[in-house]
Amino acid sequence: MTTLLRLIADHLDGARTPSQTIAEAYARHRAHGDAAIFITLRPEAEVLAEARRLQAEGPRGRALWGIPVAVKDNIDVAGLPTTAACPAFAYEPEADASVVARLRAAGAIIIGKTNLDQFATGLNGTRSPYGVPRNALRPDLVPGGSSSGSASAVAAGIVPVALGTDTAGSGRVPAGLQNLVGLKPSVGLVPTAGVVPACRTLDCVSVFALTVADAWAVLDVIAGHDAGDPFSRPIPLGRPGAVPPTLRIAVPRPADLDFDADAGAAASFETALARARSLGASIVPLDMAPFAEAARLLYDGPWVGERWFATRDLLARDPEAILPVIRAVIAGRPLPDAAEAFAAQYRLAELAVAARATFRGVDALMVPTAPRPVTLAQMAADPIGQNTLLGRYTNFVNLLGLCALAVPVSLAGDGTAAGVTFIAPSGHDAGLAALGSAFHAASGLTLGATGAAMPVSPARALAATEGMIEVAVVGAHLSGMPLNRELTGLGATFLRATTTAAGYRLFALAGGPPARPGLIRVAEGGAAIALEVWAMPPEGFGRFVAGIPSPLGIGTLALADGTTVKGFLCESVATDDARDVTAFGGWRAFVAAQASAA
């Protein structure tokens, strides 16, 4: 499996079809031979039929057109059971989770539901009655959890991206142990409606990918406020930019670093420090005491009560249906009373103030994703202790409302991987993506367990960073349409599909065929118009603009997310004898309607 952005480019220019991509995903799954990755895998014929329908429709500006995605089995997918890795808990959801609905609307194809530590309780990936997904790098190591199946599916190259969840590190630890990117967004940035709760106030939907650019492409689709989700927050996503020239990265003081006597893991973190410095970063030692104390609250405080609350009916009805190790975590001790719960919340608020203070003057905190790899034998001998070890640098993040991005650092000859996690305050997801992309690209590592080389210019695919220009297209330059090759021929890279703000009207200009689109901004009676944003090198942008015929030109477009971008606008006088096609919502829909009527 190649990267998501490479697949999208191949789909758009016809180098491969979505149905070919789906067939290859199933072939890789068969060749990999790990039945424990998926709890439910959709029949190949059914998924191929869906891919062929998408092919026939064309991309229509869908950012993930034809991309196969695996979904952790605590996230609802209509038509597939949700088990949370507990057969007695399983149910058939009537609707997709919000994130799944957004993926499908963007053209993604869900191929199945992946294995997990039961009720998303665990960081090791061995706590499931459906078996243990193999660590794709080395089968005697734990895959990491709780999103074990999702991480293994991406690392093995079965799918380019997969959804996990993250409460205490479940979207980061598996990435660190399998040479992947694990993106854990700001709490509330991505809706969790339709996700089986672990700790509902802390849960995040996370993304596993081979590159940061791929993970961001998914986040760009699934992020955004959901008015029907009481835990969704209107956090601006932003766009990744250039890494600051005065980059300052905080790291734990030597006294706060613990690799559990693993010399290889310690050496990997030294490599990470050197790589950060090579990006121009200044390293700032940080006292981790507030973070460590917050981490202890997760399992010693009232948040265990949230896990109990999510499973209380099953605990009352059939406690033996829950694995003993999970039952011990959720119901193995008395729940805190109300006074204790409030005391813990007050203390967490104080720790959050202290944590925010540590981020003043630094761009991110960098910690090891996990202290060291853990073997299956070590986990079997000490299931609680080894699981606790894996969460040493992760448990505090959601409690303190932070965002995080796990990226690979090294891949040893013995098949062990090590990574770091960049952490920042809520709403700084785009800054972490820019930093993480540059850091990962500098590693030169192969991707996951696939052996595939790092893309030549992953930062260019991530966004129009320094030296690139974003340009929006609304008509025949859209992906899959006749003039799109003008963009790709000038070195443009697809970034995202979105819409204008609701203040525009779209016209089919006179003088065809073929009809030409004209977009104008209006003071009233406007609507949101579908468009695509591409990144172009300056020389390509100059040649592109020079070739635009009157009455069209390049102006500044306001987008639905509140940002602006350069894009096609039309002189209003040219619309006097033009057809108003605003009601179609976009040029692609108008052209399709014309073809159907012909």
Known catalytic residues are 72, 146, 170
Amino acid at site 254: P
**Helix/strand/coil for 298:** helix
DSSP 8-state class, residue 171: T
CA distances from 164 to 161, 174, 296 (A): 10, 10, 23
Tokens of 94: 């009537």
- 106, 221, 168, 153 alpha-carbon torsion, rounded to 10°: 40
Count of positions (residues) in the chain: 598
Tell which residue, 216, 189, 224, 220, has the closest CA to residue 203.
189
The residues pairing with 557 across neighbouring beta strands, listed in sequence order, are 565
The CA-based angle 113-114-117, given to 5 degrees, is: 130
DSSP three-state, residue 417 = strand
452, burial (CB in 10 Å: exposed 0-12, middle 13-18, buried 19+): middle
On the 0-12 / 13-18 / 19+ scale of CB atoms within 10 A, 241 is middle
Element (H, E) at 445: none
Parallel, antiparallel or unpaired: strands 579-580 and 504-509: antiparallel
Rounded distance between C-alpha atoms, residue 209 and residue 153, angstroms: 10
Q: Give the Å distances, CA to CA, from 242 to 245, 250, 278, 364.
A: 8, 19, 15, 14
The C-alpha atoms of residue 156 and residue 273 are separated, in whole angstroms, by: 28
Separation of alpha carbons 33 and 391, rounded Å: 29
Q: Mind giving me the DSSP string for 178-207?
A: TT-EEEEPPTTTS--TTB--SSTTT-EEEE
Query: What 3-state class would DSSP assign to 430?
Result: helix
What is the C-alpha to C-alpha distance for residues 244 and 561, in angstroms, rounded to an integer?
24
CA dist., res. 488 & res. 252, Å (int): 44
Eight-class DSSP state of 244: P
Angle at 386 between CA 380 and CA 392, to 5 degrees: 165
Residues 6+ apart with CB under 8 A from 500: 519, 528, 529, 531, 557, 558, 559, 560
- Provide the CA 379 distance to its chain's centre, in angstroms: 28
Q: Quick one: three-class SS letters along 246-292? A: CCEEEEECHHHCCCCCCHHHHHHHHHHHHHHHHCCCEEEEECCHHHH
